[in-house]
């Protein structure tokens, strides 16, 4: 293909994105009946693709969707789609690589027999997020609570983000640019829209328990890096007060990897350096692992 | 138009359904970021369209979506779409009339500026559901609990149905054909996938409190009819045990109007008549109100 | 007394305020071990003083404090203190009249034998709050939840306001001037710092159930006035979504009486008039009852 | 100064205690708007003063109070106040050293700009509590539950003790002399009025998780001593049944250090020795650490 | 039969009580797998026997036990057993009449096919409880909470009383003779061991909602009597504070009918008369209804 | 004794089972007021009898029952009863050995002074359960939740099984033969009727926390065996989703020891081998420990 349009895998074929068309009766569109996963490239290489695809298959099992493809086939298709799209990236840019599966065009009460499957690449919003690495993120706790595990597993990357979206919107209304991190129904710090929070205090790292959050692959990567660096990591219930008395804090997500936090509820952190020393160590270790100075990649966009 | 394809309103135009195409990056598809409403026709007339459209606008306010249309404009468009589709109905058939709005093709973290708006007609699944009126519905309580109001308002008809869907799936696995009615996080009877449960005991009607459910327009209609018939209605917390000791029970939904229940958790109701006498009175009053023998319409499909 | 210093009742005597001195070991100061009540004057007359004093005595019973005075004696002392202070008011001004009782200077673990008792008058902050009547209040829901009844009865006007204060502070940080209305631990709308919220929708008034809030005497007054005006009042669990879809809303408190709300979480109310028509009716009925145009009194300060 | 009156730091000056005078409008008195900390001396030396002052500053951040002093300045002032008061102690006596900060004399709704700051010494109630070391403490579980973290952080030593006080009162009414240990809102053992409970079973020590309690500095000291003594310590949810089946139990607090428990809900412990062997080991290690036989100091008061 | 031994219905026969023998493998004995009901006689007549038997059959449905008898047959057998036992009563004495059904001698995992059925009469403990009518009951709130409806319906009179028994024991340990009234898991007043609490305040009667308690037939009788007497009755969540500020209070149970309360948590009621005026009115109405001065019957035992 | 009837210890004597007779007023029968324990034999030897008896005594303390026997005496009596019953076992059979204590024949409100004590042997249902080892167990999650610790300690093996029984019945109705594993009131996996669930994922073993379940002695045995085998065991909150994504799963109970699971909610496990490799290792280690091929013992019954 010689056009400069990106391609996507769509229900059995790799086609130009603009030709992929979701039905207005697709239960993914009508009822959010679907799951997805989101990996990213570093220098064009997809990071931990196997882990992302395995998680996708666990999610599919939870919602009883069978896509008729093996994990290996999904990996293969993902590599092909990405390969074809790489030439369209600018210098020092990278992709989000999304897998999305929905119940397909169907009645919600009928058996879900023909899922919609999409694999696509979206350029990372490097420029928009670059200031976060320079200044640190401002985190706000919305009044809306995260859906508890007894209703919908937060470990499943489902297409039902409205709980996270209304929390995000609530925060944007009063604090434009701040990041919403929801509390769970017990009032403990939980997670944001596709992001996992970490606190650092007295040399220890704290993050919410895996039962209550999407166990991000970046989150898991940071935990493993901390283990290697002999920095203790505690997965436990943490409170807003723990955030206020933290020395440092950071957020992990697929696109951000490790991004420093500057304040919680407008209270600056104890250690006002951005990033704090342990955040910096983890950032360096992460960069080394992915062989990409992702902070530099973001900051380069500041012009 | 002389084809026999139904039309839909889609982002400013009324077009054949097959030409309405949702982007693979529509946040309605990717994150379930949307709301909808569902009315139905009786003899081709849409029932309580104004109430449905008003509820849609409340839902839109909750999720911060602005569609650039007034309620009156939406009503007008709905009537047009329905008008054009009516000739395609078979005899004694009727339509579901859906309004669907999503955040549109966009990044989840960016402002939601160009929503996707769909108005479409779907023929009611009369045949598939006809046996329910003859035999009564079997209701099962899944282990999954309904999302509590502190996380996502159940009063908003949002496109995030996964909580309801996995509960429905859980029940289908062990009791094919049964209807899932979820319990709320306190263990009280709540609601099913687009349906509201009612119990009858000692001449009184009981239904869960409006705070915990989608306050269905059929639910509201039945409450008003009961008031007119001087049958007391209590909106209160009700338990599975209340279901087991109920004399009669029924489900309301847009498509079903009033449909009798035969059993809860496989325990038959005290009064085994289908429908029970109060259910029958309400069914007749409902039929009169909509000027359509909806039960007859369903049963006619049994052939 | 010919000075222009206000007097207060303090542990048995009426003395100039500046001579009333709380010990640094008073358990009211060290542990918030105390209760209070707050009435106000209209044209110099204390409104519903008996109701306030009765509530004070219920609060005292809850915390096991015995002040050695009968309700009648407290009423008598209150009238005396107020009488002496009235000459110090400017024209068109009024007083808050506070009763405060603490455990007195003592060890927290010992029997509480000599409570500290204060009765004092504070001029109402008319000027600071005047804009609220012109513009309406902006209400925000903080992430901090109200203490549940199983821990501390919200019906008792206790001196433990920190839960309310940190919620107020959280809101001030991101929305200066907005009023915090906390949600309860179930996520329903509860109360603010000394204030009770009301919603109006389809001609009905809604306010949170008495079990979860300080049952304000202004709240009770408004309920009685609505009853007289034949406007239905429902005490029930109400949600943030109920606030978003409300036609009008207002706050009651001792000082504010009835004050219109303009927005919840920055979402303007459906009916943007300030005050809305039912709020206006209640405001007029309240003014008539207390024989004071309290809105005019506030607005006069706008200069 | 040659009098025998103790001095206190009060808003910028060290003055005789009787000259320190809290306003009747100090929000510490009117709304419990404040925080504090409590250290103690052993042989006249303050134990872990730096830890106490650091905790005070975390508490201040939580309630948004700024006292215009650095931690070092507070430490310096504390040492001066204590120094001046030490000559007034009898032989073998010691002090509680309290820091107390409130919002100061102000309107609760206005910005809190001039906090009240007190540093004072109070002789420990050695005589009153001496029998506890001889007989062991009787612990009772009140029906009132501890305020959950989502409402007010229990990690903050706030001046809002009413929840603890009413629980204490409830227990005193039916079991004079017993110590109330509250359960949290989930029914797990939590904490008492300024005290942390510990259980010993099968050679392991159990204490409630830090998220739900004031993480006492004596609690932390005991955990560190147990670590040194190679006695495993588990911070976890523990139940009343765990208390009933415990071999030993003890309470830690600033004043009591380590004090043995004799019974829970009137059920004697499995091992009826007072103190049990592990409690005794920790008591000895604590005494060594603080260079003071604190049990002997208490028991000497029995006469 | 000419002996003075009482008879009981036992699995198909009416036999002397001593010949009724429960197997050590009866699941009623081994797992509390059973339900019961308890009526009483007044002057030898069983009160509301039909209501008790209907409730028994609802309970049986809940636990899936089928006794092979119709409600009418059970009523008939009950009358026969009682008839035969009446001659053994002393003057002015009455019976409790119990129905008990268990799963029978069986493996807990097997189908429950042959239930054990008992109908028996037990003389009421008039003497032991007589002082309650003279002095009023002392009510205490234990720390143990009542099992919530989502685990076991409190509306079912099941043979699983351990939750109530340990709460009763907890109270007996510290307050011998007091009656335990448990709080529910939300901290609201719930019920005691076979008893329903009522409060009276400002001329209104309050009792916990039916969803959370065994809806006692005496409770229902009192509600109906109050309706007839035009005394408003509110079924709602009530708190310990509501008890402390109540004017009067009473307990209903099958054996006690209506019995006045003197104190809650050792705090005497506002109105110290025993019984209070509304309690007295209800007592008289109850006596009239059952044609028996039940208070006199109890007090006669005081000798 | 030369008969072929089994004997039981019953209130002081060892007698033929048929002579042991529980009163119809035994509070164990009427109110489930009792506790029990259940050991089993392997080749006629009772496994961990001391641990079972110690747990029984903890249970007795919880419910305030005193049987007037020491643990050693109970052990001695148990051995005697078992000894006498062993000759009645067929080849390759074994016994459940039960201890059961109830409050005895008494009024529920009176002091419990003469408990009923039973020690008996029941042949294991080897034949009925044999298919579980061949096919694996199907586990279903009922809608009924497990009673929370704040109401009744799940660590106590009480005779109040109705919560477990109705959950079991609910599952039997829709999935005959499946095993019910209840979720706790937070929605995490808890326990079944006398059984503890375990999951295996990525080489780690997961089981619910001891606070929420009967800490089975087989559960504890498996944890110790895993420790010896260096297989990590995590006691933590686990969710239904954790079950769906588990590689293997098994159930432990006194009779089953270790029994493989085949599916949860009809979803087959990731690794469909029965048993999975880690389950197999633990099975072998368990067999070795008890010196009995218990799986072979069960499978031999398949004929």
Tens-of-pLDDT digits for all 303 residues of chain A?
Answer: 456 899 999 999 999 999 999 999 999 999 999 999 999 999 999 999 999 999 999 999 999 999 999 999 999 999 999 999 999 999 999 999 999 999 999 754 444 468 999 999 999 999 999 999 999 999 999 999 999 999 999 999 999 999 999 999 999 999 999 999 999 999 999 999 999 999 999 999 999 999 999 999 999 999 999 999 999 999 999 999 999 999 999 999 999 999 999 999 999 998 889 999 999 999 999 999 999 999 999 999 997
d(C-alpha C146, C-alpha C141), whole Å = 11
Instruction: Check B187 against E156: CB less than 8 A apart.
Output: no
d(C-alpha C147, C-alpha C213), whole Å = 10
Report whether pLDDT(C1) > 60.
Answer: no
d(C-alpha E166, C-alpha F63), whole Å = 6
Query: Are C241 and C187 within 8 A, CB to CB?
Result: no
Nearest Cα of chain B lies from the Cα of E53 at a distance, in angstroms, of 14
Q: Which of C30, C36, C60 to mutate to test the interface with D (most CBs of D within 10 A)?
A: C30
Instruction: Check F163 against E147: CB less than 8 A apart.
Output: yes
d(C-alpha D147, C-alpha F220), whole Å = 34
Pairing of strands A257-264, A267-268: antiparallel
Nearest Cα of chain E lies from the Cα of D243 at a distance, in angstroms, of 14
Report whether pLDDT(B112) > 90.
Answer: no
Q: If DSSP codes are grouped into helix, strand and coil, which group holds residue E96?
A: strand
- Chain F residues touching residue B145 (CB < 8 angstroms): 187
Q: What is the pTM of this model?
A: 0.96
Instruction: Check D244 against F61: CB less than 8 A apart.
Output: yes
d(C-alpha C174, C-alpha F137), whole Å = 55
Q: Which of E142, E266, E267 sits opposite D143 (nearest CB)?
A: E142
Q: How far is CA B169 from CA A55, B256, F170, F180, F182, in A?
A: 20, 20, 17, 18, 19
Instruction: Check D175 against E174: CB less than 8 A apart.
Output: yes
What is the average pLDDT value for chain E, to the nearest integer?
95
Chains sharing 3 or more CB pairs under 8 A with chain E: B, C, D, F
| Residue-level pLDDT at E3 | 66
Q: Which of B144, B189, B241, B269 to mutate to test the interface with E (most CBs of E within 10 A)?
A: B241
Provide mean pLDDT across the span C114-136.
96
Domain boundaries, chain E: 7-124, 129-302
- Chain E residues touching residue D170 (CB < 8 angstroms): 265
Report whether pLDDT(E236) > 80.
Answer: yes
| Residue-level pLDDT at D113 | 66
Look up residue C3 and give its two tokens.
Answer: 């000075």
What is the average pLDDT value for chain B, to the nearest integer?
95
Task: Return the residue of B nearest to E155 by Cα.
Answer: B241
Q: Which of C143, C174, C240 sits opposite A175 (nearest CB)?
A: C174
Chains sharing 3 or more CB pairs under 8 A with chain D: A, C, E, F
Provide mean pLDDT across the span B191-210.
97
Provide mean pLDDT across the span E23-29.
96
Report whether pLDDT(B191) > 90.
Answer: yes
| Residue-level pLDDT at C113 | 65
Nearest Cα of chain C lies from the Cα of E205 at a distance, in angstroms, of 16
Contacts 24+ apart (CB under 8 A), B166-170: B166/A62, B166/A63, B166/A64, B166/A152, B167/B142, B167/B192, B167/B193, B168/A108, B168/A109, B168/B142, B168/B192, B168/B193, B169/A63, B169/A64, B170/B142, B170/B143, B170/B144, B170/F265
State ipTM.
0.95
Instruction: Check E166 against F20: CB less than 8 A apart.
Output: no
Task: Return the residue of D nearest to F236 by Cα.
Answer: D236
- Chain F residues touching residue A58 (CB < 8 angstroms): 241, 244-245
Count of beta carbons in the 10 Å neighbourhood of residue C154: 24
Task: Return the residue of E nearest to C156 by Cα.
Answer: E241
CA F281, distance to chain mean position in Å, is 21
Instruction: Check A151 against B150: CB less than 8 A apart.
Output: no
Cβ-proximal residues to B184 (8 Å cutoff; 6+ apart), any chain? B145, B146, B148, B190, B208, B212
Which chain E residues have any C-beta within 8 angstroms of a chain B C-beta? Answer: 58, 61-62, 148-151, 153, 155-156, 209, 211
Q: How many CB pairs under 8 A join B and C?
A: 34
> pLDDT-based confidence at C3, cuts 50/70/90?
low
Instruction: Check D22 against C20: CB less than 8 A apart.
Output: no
Instruction: Check F187 against A211: CB less than 8 A apart.
Output: no
d(C-alpha B257, C-alpha B283), whole Å = 8
d(C-alpha E170, C-alpha E153), whole Å = 23
- Chain E residues touching residue D174 (CB < 8 angstroms): 140, 174-175, 265-266
Instruction: Check B174 against F145: CB less than 8 A apart.
Output: no
| Residue-level pLDDT at B1 | 44
Query: Are A261 and A195 within 8 A, CB to CB?
Result: no
Same fold, F7-124 and F129-302: no
> pLDDT-based confidence at D1, cuts 50/70/90?
very low
Cβ-proximal residues to A110 (8 Å cutoff; 6+ apart), any chain? none
Instruction: Check B174 against F175: CB less than 8 A apart.
Output: yes
Report whether pLDDT(C123) > 90.
Answer: yes
Look up residue C68 and give its two tokens.
Answer: 């050695």
Nearest Cα of chain A lies from the Cα of C168 at a distance, in angstroms, of 12
Which chain F residues have any C-beta within 8 angstroms of a chain D C-beta? Answer: 58, 61-62, 148-151, 153, 155-156, 209, 211
Q: How many CB pairs under 8 A join B and F?
A: 32
> pLDDT-based confidence at F153, cuts 50/70/90?
very high
- Chain A residues touching residue D148 (CB < 8 angstroms): 186-187
Q: Candidates 2.40.40.20, 3.20.10.10, 3.30.420.40, 1.10.579.10; correct CATH number of C129-302?
A: 3.20.10.10
Chains sharing 3 or more CB pairs under 8 A with chain A: B, C, D, F
Q: How far is CA F218 from CA B19, C20, F239, in A?
A: 63, 69, 22
Instruction: Check D236 against F149: CB less than 8 A apart.
Output: no
Count of beta carbons in the 10 Å neighbourhood of residue F292: 20
Chains sharing 3 or more CB pairs under 8 A with chain C: A, B, D, E
Nearest Cα of chain E lies from the Cα of F229 at a distance, in angstroms, of 33
d(C-alpha F284, C-alpha F172), whole Å = 31
Chains sharing 3 or more CB pairs under 8 A with chain F: A, B, D, E
Reference B139, options B237, B259, B226, B235; nearest CA is: B259
Fold designation for B7-124: D-amino Acid Aminotransferase; Chain A, domain 1 (3.30.470)
d(C-alpha B115, C-alpha C188), whole Å = 30
d(C-alpha B211, C-alpha B205), whole Å = 18
Provide mean pLDDT across the span B202-215.
98
């Amino acid at each position: 293909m010689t056009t400069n349009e990106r391609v996507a895998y769509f229900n059995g074929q790799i086609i130009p994105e603009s030709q992929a068309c979701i039905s207005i009766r697709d239960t993914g569109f009508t009822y959010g009946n679907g799951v997805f996963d989101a990996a990213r490239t570093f220098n064009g290489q997809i990071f931990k693709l196997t882990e992302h695809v395995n998680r996708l298959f666990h999610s599919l099992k939870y919602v009883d969707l069978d896509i008729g493809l093996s994990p290996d086939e999904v990996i293969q298709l993902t590599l092909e789609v990405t390969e074809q799209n790489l030439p369209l990236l600018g210098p020092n840019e990278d992709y989000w690589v999304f897998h999305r599966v929905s119940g397909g065009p169907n009645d919600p009460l009928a058996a879900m027999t023909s899922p919609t499957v999409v694999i696509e690449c979206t350029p990372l919003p490097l420029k928009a997020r670059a200031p976060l690495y320079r200044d640190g993120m401002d985190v706000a706790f919305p009044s809306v609570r995260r859906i508890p595990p007894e209703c919908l597993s937060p470990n499943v990357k489902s297409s039902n983000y409205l709980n996270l979206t209304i929390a995000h919107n609530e925060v944007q209304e009063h604090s434009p640019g701040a990041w919403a991190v929801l509390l769970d129904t017990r009032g403990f710090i939980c997670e944001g829209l596709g992001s996992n929070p970490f606190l650092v205090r007295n040399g220890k790292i704290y993050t919410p328990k895996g039962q209550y959050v999407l166990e991000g692959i970046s989150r898991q990567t940071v935990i493993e890096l901390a283990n290697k660096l002999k920095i203790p990591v505690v997965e436990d219930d943490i409170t807003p007060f723990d955030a206020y008395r933290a020395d440092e804090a950071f957020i992990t997500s697929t696109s951000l990897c490790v991004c420093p936090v500057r304040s919680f509820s407008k209270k600056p952190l104890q250690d006002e350096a951005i990033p704090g020393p342990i955040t910096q160590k983890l950032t360096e270790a992460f960069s080394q692992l992915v062989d990409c100075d992702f902070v530099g990649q973001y900051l380069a966009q500041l012009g």
